[in-house]
Amino acid sequence: MESSAVLGGLQPNYLLYPSRNPSSSLPLRPFSFTSHSFPLSLKLQKQLPLTSHGAAAAAAAASPIGGYTTLSDSSETSELADIDWDNLGFAFLSTDYMYVMKCAQGGNFPKGELQSFGNIELSPSAGVLNYGQGLFEGLKAYRKEDGTILLFRPEENALRMRLGAERMCMPSPTVKQFVEAVKATVLANRRWVPPPGKGSLYIRPLLMGSGAVLGLAPAPEYTFLIYVSPVGNYFKEGVAPINLIVEHELHRATPGGTGGVKTIGNYAAVLKAQSAAKAKGYSDVLYLDCVHKKYLEEVSSCNIFVVKDNVISTPAIKGTILPGITRKSIIDVARSEGFQVEERQVAVDELLDADEVFCTGTAVVVSPVGSITYLGKKVSYGEGGFGVVSEKLYSVLTRLQMGLSEDKMDWTVELG
């Protein structure tokens, strides 16, 4: 089965510890993979309280997370974390395990290891803290009605991280290492994968310069880490339309910069405009190119699509826009459904007479846009819900992700 193949070679380690406090000298409880304590069904043992230590354990004790509920399927009873699955938002919830591996600059990552989730220690001179040498990815796992778990295109995230690592002068896990690490982390935390229709398990791989460096240079050591959290909708509106404002002074990325890779600094740069927009009641910000200040780029963490006369247009990937995996998937789905899709420069003026506008991203999947405000003028779309095109694409993609339709694209990876 998938669980034995993925997890069989992993060993516990004690390289990362909780934050400094009297209990931080305690070693992290290892994750055992013996056949006696880790059956192929990957049911987590009730007699082992899966909590982290130190500060993380104290936080867990204060959280509303309780014991266990059960999910029945045709072959076994799997345990679910006892949380309010009907009211998941997009906020972090501490889970059981994280995956870690390290390597030196110029080296290759060795086999990684699972350990109890907890805080990590970094030198104050770590490259990621001083010079922003870090990348992250985001993908999701879904639970099917029969209890199996699906990943969506994890190899695409692995490839994107490798491209970003090359730009940021960092070593990166191989595609195989990345995908196997994702599988192991999800299986170890499977009680946190929401029941069908209640949400998804958000998976956050990180790659960072963890070694100490004082002068401006690549860090001498790197850490690859994966943690997970159950999530619901990204926007508070859920799948209701969001309201955007076009930002024409501040910019997300510049030609020749790092806008086309998923480096951590790209996201800190949008916080000022995003915070100002939310204070005025908008959901998020739509950015323009920094040269002409007239062509659409992307929303803070989403790609943008414009529909006119059943033709779907989206800004072309030219180094300043993140090549979103959901974006790529929506384009393929749209073409398979007979839509014409154009990847090109899209002028902001085209928003004024568009039939529909929608956003795509791992967190939001597909989010309809209800209105866009540009230079004080507000343009509204639709009747307060999905447009015809975006609803069709949302339905096709989400049914595929959740295992409700045949995966003719060969995009999903099933875990036992």
35 Cβ contact list (under 8 Å, min separation 6): none
Report the alpha-carbon distance of residue 353 to residue 355 in Å, rounded: 7
Give me the residues paired with residue 113 across strands. Answer: 100
SS (H, E, C) 82-112: CCCHHHCCCCCCCCCEEEEEEEECCCCCCCC
User: Both tokens of residue 195?
Assistant: 């029941």
Distance, CA of 201 to CA of 97 (rounded, Å): 13
Check 262, 278, 328, 377 and give the catalytic one. Answer: 262
How far apart (Å, rounded) are the C-alpha atoms in residues 26 and 19?
11
Q: Let me know: does 229 contact 83? Beta carbons within 8 Å.
A: no
Beta strands in 165-220 (DSSP E): 200-209
Tally Cβ neighbours within 10 Å of residue 321.
Answer: 22
Say if CB 192 and CB 124 are below 8 A apart. no
| Orientation of helix 388-401 relative to helix 325-336, angle to 10° | 110
Q: For 146, which DSSP code?
A: T
3-state secondary structure of 158: helix
377 catalytic residue (yes or no): no
Amino acid at the residue 410: D
The set of catalytic residues is 262
